[in-house]
Amino acid sequence: MGTGRESDSELSEAMKRIRVNSRKKFEVLINTCGAQAAQMSLRPGDTSDSYPGNEHRHSEQWLFVISGSGTVRIGKRRQSLRTVKIRTHTLLVIEKGELHQIKNSGRKVLTSINIYVPPAYDPDSAPKR
């Protein structure tokens, strides 16, 4: 824990600043041994997957919407999926094992930061198996 007296150079060595690039649909931004951050950008009408699935069944996903709006189909079973609306500044928690599909239902790009605990993707953004 810091003392509050660290220099700017000491802070910059301990902190990592990541710039979000909304041109890619999905990109892992940073990893630690216990968590991972990724950015997702969906164009109007686009979806995260072709159907509600769960490619990270061992990780929670905390989805924070930076901009845009959309819907999330989410649930434990396909027969009981519910639809949740999301928009700028929405925080949605997708629990381990929940099926889900994110859709941009708005007119602008839907951009979110997604935190996975524990990490769900390889550094090249491929799902861990």
The domain made up of 25-117 is a member of CATH 3.40.50.300: no
pLDDT in tens, 17-65: 666 666 789 999 999 999 999 999 999 999 999 999 987 889 999 999 9
Which of 83-90's residues contact partners 24+ apart within 8 Å by CB, and which partners?
Answer: 86/110, 89/64, 89/65, 90/63, 90/64, 90/65
Q: Is the pLDDT of residue 118 over 60?
A: yes
CA-nearest of 50, 37, 43, 52 to 24 is 43
Global confidence as pTM: 0.82
Every domain of the chain and the residues it spans: 25-117
pLDDT in tens, 64-84: 999 999 999 999 999 999 999
